[in-house]
Structure 1
Amino acid sequence: MAAQIQPDTVFNGERNAHLNVICGPLINFKNMDVTTSTSVWRGSVLIVTKPGQAQPQLIMRQVGPVSNGDPVSESISKDRNFTIDGLRLFEDPRKAFWRFSITLPLESYEARWEYSIPGFRHAEGQHVRSLWDFVVPSRSQSMRLMFHSCNGFSVGTDMDAWVGPNLWNDVLRVHARKPFHVMIGGGDQLYNDGIRVDGPLKEWTSISNPHKRRAHNFDNDLRARCDEYYYENYVRWYTTEPFKEANGRIPQINVWDDHDIIDGFGSYTDHFMRCSVFRGIGGVAFKYYCLFQHHVAPPKSTYTTDAPQTMHAVNGTAGADPRQLENTFVLESQDVDDSWIVGKRPGPYVEEKSRNLYMRLGKRIAFIGVDARTERTRHQVNYPDTYDLIFSRLEHEVTAANGDIKHLVVLLGVPIAYPRLAWLENILSSPFIAPIRLLNKRFGFAGSLFNQFDGQVDLLDDLDDHYTARQHKKERRIFIQRLQEFAKVHSARVTILGGDVHLAAIGRFYSNPKLGLQSVNDPRYMVNVVSSAITNKPPPKAVANLLARRNKLHHMDHNTDETLMDMFDQQPGGLEKSASWNKVTMPSRNYACITEVDIPVTNGASSEPHDDSTITPLPKDGHSPLHKGEANAGTNHPAADGFSSNSSMYGGLDIAIRVEIDPQNREGATDGYGFSIPTLTYDPTKDNARPISQSYSERSGSQHPESRPQSARPQTAVN
């Protein structure tokens, strides 16, 4: 057995000589401060090494300004070199996690930085690059964003048909043309579902009696085997090219979703979710989520049934188990990451508090990432007081920014403006399914229709994940109304990112046309950019077409409508992905690019030109373009290539969805589809609706359109 690892271990040998690296480097963005005279960018780099290594170092230098993705000058880099010592987060007899915390000054120009790690050598001897680079925005610049989700493969995917994570090649090509400052992972950064197929939960999954399955112990031996599975799966996926190269060059922001744990986690019935195996793998998945995706030390121990102190949270985390700490070092007394908004109490099925995010993405963009998995049950996405914490932090930060923030980007794991599927929920949970379930239980009939956990129809956990599921609709409405109120008070445009559904779409909330509000003055106009999946296979085109047929006009409340936007004017590469009439859902692998449109500079000063073309005749409804930026959405829009920003929607956001043409093409060739989002100039004199805050009285009332009997609802409100 290896010797006990202590925090003050002294190693012999030359520092960084032959640093045996298992995984990494992975670069993260943490936060930035653009409100002081000494504006700074903060991030981190993570490497995983063999245990017993000397403390590694990282060497930074600034290359110089960036122009069209290329360095302009390297002459200023000579006096910009500095060294950062690694901080050990976790070590056991198999591996050690090291974090390099980086703080960089923001310049008057967009700057390229390079870093190297002396002695870096892959533990298995593969060739690796010795120098990595990334780009930091200027003090006056907003970040350029790349958004992705579902970066892995579901169990049973035909790997000959869906060849590898090819789209990361296109990400790197676009990054070379115009660098991304950050890549935002919307959940399912990898898929851990194989743990029940060829991993340590295979035997447990095969137990046919649901009572025995629920009562199964999660002892320390099973925990250790699951721990090994999650770790090895992270290493395997995070060392897969070309995703591996992007990990070292584009700083990441991540929130997790169910597949980062296991398919459907949180959305099965409560009595089954509380079983020991689910709670156990929830704790182990959280451990490696902290390390790989956030570069922070994990809890000292995770849930096991033979260590009672781990079965209930102590001070917001699992209690310490001496067996799990044997020959193991875990960093203690670390500062709380200032980007985190930590929930007040642990989740119902994970003995940890939620980790929501606030970050400043450059000069004019604020960002909120909602941890919609830690607190999730079949009947809630987040605790009410977690929303209060999020909006309190947001209010504090935006007020301190003194009017600089013009956009709020909100990251959710799943779409929130999306076609209703209540009719499918009703069918799959109806008594008509019971005889088929009985045949499945006894004879295996229709085996692919039912999941191996609780015996329910497999699609139900996915439907229960949706904000539009009937049990989440009230929570959804309140959340959207709070975002609307924020937009009104701060005259800041809200844009929502969501993934999960394995296709691309653009949903929008907007003021009912009867109110006569132009989009530029409309705080209810919020776009939901749905981009999924960057790697996983898309659904069949028949499913995408069915969703498109369900793209009805919905009335979220008396003043807010919603629907999907026509975006996909032609098929990518001329290859049929969906029906020719379907312009709203695209079942092909994809990712999104988000770029603030530069305001022209005249005589050395930025000034937004007067543009009457933003004022357009109001459409009858949201099936038509709502403003100039939507009017030519698709392949001919200036933003479609993913790196241009000349749409003339000054100060707004250009959005591109890059769609894979052929999954057999390892280069990841894509076609782009674009549109623009305007800034918000809210003028209360132009808003004929009653204040949004008054609509809070409807939160529990029965007068809401979605709570009225079907016969009393407007015919366009199909819920």
Structure 2
Amino acid sequence: MTERSASRRAGPILHLRSHDAAGLRLAAIVIRPEDEACGPLRIDGNDHQPRRIATLEGLAIWRFDFRLAPGAPGYEFEGESFPVETELSGDLRLGFLSCNGEEIGDLDRDPAERDAMWERMRALHDERPFAVLIQGGDQIYADEVTQGHPLSDGWPEDLPRRAPTEEDLEDLAAHLRAGFVRRYMRGLSSAAVAALMGRVPTLAVWDDHDICDGWGSLPEKATDSAVGRTLFRVAREMYLLFQHGAVETEVAEIFVDPTGGNLGWERTLPGVTLRAPDLRSERRRRQVMGEAGWSLLERPAPEPEKMFLVSSVPLLGPRLSLVEAVMWVWPGMQKYEDDLRDQWQSRAHREDWKRALRAVIGLREAGPVTALSGEIHLATRAEMAAAPGPVHQLVASGIAHRAPPKGYARGLGWLGSLGEGPLSGHPIRILPLPGMRRRYVAERNFLVLERTGGAWSAVWQLEESGPTPPLAI
């Protein structure tokens, strides 16, 4: 057996549904072998019973739905206390991460190496608790799930020569589902991940590797094929279940678009809004989002206070269109076409990018906006000029994905030095992290966002260099 055996147990895993004067409304999922019962969850001496929301691959997924009032210490489950931060109106600490895995062989990695940055985040939580954990995409790397089935072995390059039957596609779906479950269970059963997710409510937006490398930027004959649509259907089912603790019939309760065509979400906490458009569900080769996605990005902020806007790929970036323009000159560079087309800065998305930047400028007029992004396996930051002050972008990418070569970071830094500004009067600058010389840092990393005395700051936790000095945002 080449893959590490995935655990058969995980949870509790907290998902943030909402917050209001009555406190936090949460869902907690617990995953156990399907022949094993799930006991109650206890709050203030009262037992809450779970309901089974899914059974798959010999596993039962149980869910508790409950509230924690402001000041409540947390909950108990299976004899263990799980403290949860419930006082959110004053000082506040949020975590942001992305890219929890690798494209090839992720299940075979040494857990201590793979989860080293999760351990660091757990230690920080023990010092001062996080209130919410924001996951910015690529929470799993599903690239290998298509391997081992005759319909999908060669996908996306090779499509089946004959139209598959419904029976063929259901067999493929079962194969894909098993692969997704192994990868989700590998991550969620990690000791460091479990310690955090049982105590910190999570919010997750997906990116391409949660489906497959380059989803939406691949040739449409592949994504629109029967194999491609089956892959997307299963990936969506697994994303809802493992990253939101939900099933398809509950989409309208959790996401902004009631039709479910776009899985963008928004949550409000005291003094701060968390907004995350879905950049994958409606993506096409020449389209980042459909109108459902744009309606979330472009709608006014609910209050003129702090907004964190999650863009799974960096909204403010270097002039990647220059690379696209010359990539055909060098043999072998064409394999990166889908990666470049994934970016807002692609020539194919120029008008969409301008539209997104105009939307963010409109939000900035109402209050401070900071974009949070992942995807590039590097740490960096950027600013776009706007009134009454700049829009900040913070990129934290690679909590588990190993860093690319330093030369890659230097090359992007050179592109970043050229400047970019598709909207007149709103130049974009790629800037070094606090205390750093270069614009991009090739180390595994995650972000800590803190509100202290009403002022927000950001600190990158870098694997080798340690924490950066705080950046006022």
TM-score in terms of structure 2 length = 0.90
Matched, 1:342 2:197: no
Instruction: Give the C-alpha shift of residue 411 in structure 1.
Output: 0.6
Verify the 8 A CA contact 1:343 1:355 in the aligned structure 2.
no
One-letter amino acid of the structure 1 residue matched with residue 425 of structure 2: N
Deviations, residues 460-513 of structure 1 (Å, cap 9, x unaligned): 21111111111112112112212222322x3x10100000000000011114xx
Q: 2:113 is paired with a residue of what secondary structure?
A: coil
- Residue of structure 2 equivalent to 1:475: 352
Aligned to 2:408: 543
Query: What is residue 468 of structure 2 aligned with on the other side?
Result: 673
Alignment RMSD (CA, Å): 2.7
How far residue 366 of structure 1 moved from its aligned partner, in angstroms, is: 0.6
Instruction: Report matched runs for 1:174-185 at 5 Å.
Output: 174-185=124-135
Cα 1:192–1:168 shift into 2, 3 Å: same
CA distance in 2, matches of 1:259, 1:200: 18
Instruction: In structure 2, give the amino acid aligned to 1:654.
Output: S
- Given candidates 59, 67, 77, the residue that maps to 1:103 is 67
Is 1:22 equivalent to 2:9 in the alignment? yes
Q: Which amino acid aligns with 1:537?
A: R
Report what 1:386 is aligned to: 293
Partner residue, 2:4: none
Letter in 2 for 1:267: S
Distance 2:391 2:298 in 1: 17
Q: Distance in 2 between matches of 1:117 and 1:508?
A: 47
Compared CA separation, residues 142 and 406, structure 1 to 2 (3 A): farther
Q: List runs of 5+ in structure 1 lacking aligned partners.
A: 1-19, 61-79, 119-129, 299-331, 345-351, 399-404, 437-448, 451-456, 512-521, 571-581, 599-650, 662-669, 679-719
> 2:161 & 2:372 partners in 1: Cα distance?
37
Counterparts of residues 274-313 of structure 1 (less than 5 Å): 274-298=224-248
Superposed displacement of residue 385, structure 1: 4.0
> In the aligned structure 1, how far is the partner of 2:26 from the partner of 2:296?
24
Separation of aligned partners in 1, 2:109 and 2:433: 29
Q: 1:161 to 1:57 in 2, by over 3 A?
A: closer
1:85 to 40, 46, 49: 49
Partners of 1:526 and 1:239 lie apart in 2 by: 37
Question: What SS does structure 1 have at the residue aligned with 2:266?
Answer: strand
C-alpha change, 1:207 and 1:134, in structure 2 (3 Å) is: closer
Counterpart for residue 501 of structure 1: 376
Residue 238 of structure 1: which of 170, 185, 188 is its match? Answer: 188
User: Which residue number corresponds to residue 141 of structure 1?
Assistant: 90
Other-structure match for 1:589: 444
Q: CA separation of 1:57/1:167 partners in 2, compared to 1, >3 Å: closer, same or farther?
A: same
Question: In structure 2, how many angstroms separate the alpha carbons of the residues matched to 1:335 and 1:56?
Answer: 27
For residue 114 of structure 1, report the CA deviation from its aligned partner: 3.3
2:152 aligned partner: 204
Greater gyration radius: 1
Letter in 2 for 1:531: A
How far apart are the structure 2 equivalents of 1:93 and 1:501? 32
The TM-score with structure 1 as length reference comes to: 0.60
Partners in 2 of 1:504 and 1:335 — Cα distance? 32
Task: List alignment gaps of at least 5 residues for structure 2.
Answer: 1-6
2:421 maps to which of 555, 575, 579: 555
Q: Once the two structures are superposed, what CA deviation does each residue of 1:404-453 show, in whole Å capped at 9, x if it has no partner?
A: x510110111101111122221233x3x46xx5xxxxxxxxxxxx58xxx
Report the AA paired with residue 597 of structure 1: T
Counterpart mapping for 1:391-406 below 5 A:
391-392=298-299, 394-395=300-301, 397-398=302-303, 405-406=304-305
Q: Distance in 2 between matches of 1:470 and 1:560?
A: 19
SS in 2 for 1:103: strand
Which residue identity does 1:541 align to in structure 2? Answer: K
In 2 relative to 1, CA 236–136 (structure 1 residues): closer, same or farther, beyond 3 Å?
A: same
Q: 1:460 and 2:342 equivalent?
A: no
Q: Give 1:487's aligned residue.
A: 364
1:458–1:156 Cα change, 3 Å: farther
Q: What are the superposed Cα offsets for residues 247-266 of structure 1, whole Å, 9 maximum, x if unpaired?
A: 22221110111111111111
Q: 1:660 is matched with which residue: 460, 463, 466?
A: 463
* Partner Cα separation in structure 2 for residue 357 and residue 381 of structure 1: 17
Whole-angstrom CA distance in 1 between matches of 2:412 and 2:23: 45
Question: C-alpha displacement at 1:142, in angstroms?
Answer: 5.7
Distance change >3 Å, CA 236–CA 115, structure 1 → 2: same
Structure 1 pair 483/523, CA: closer, same or farther in 2 (3 Å)?
farther
1:267–1:376 Cα contact (<8 Å) kept:
yes
After superposing the two structures, state which structure 1 stretch, 496-505 or 532-541, moved more: 532-541
Secondary structure at 1:204 match in 2: coil
Change (3 A) 1:250 1:652: same
The 3 A distance-change label for structure 1 pair 168 and 408 is: same
For 1:556 and 1:597, the matched residues in 2 are separated by: 35
Higher relative contact order (CA 8 A, sep 6+): 2
Structure 2 counterpart of 1:423, which letter?
L
Deviations 1:512-562 (A, max 9, x none): xxxxxxxxxx34511110000111011110010011111122223222011
8 A contact 1:114–1:132 mirrored in 2: yes
Q: Are 2:215 and 1:412 equivalent residues in the alignment?
A: no
Does structure 2 retain, via aligned residues, the 8 Å contact 1:57–1:85? yes
Q: Deviation of residue 674 (structure 1)?
A: 3.0
Counterpart amino acid of residue 363 in structure 2: F
1:63-91 deviations in Å (ceiling 9; x for gaps): xxxxxxxxxxxxxxxxx332211122123
Structure 2 counterpart SS, 1:560 = coil
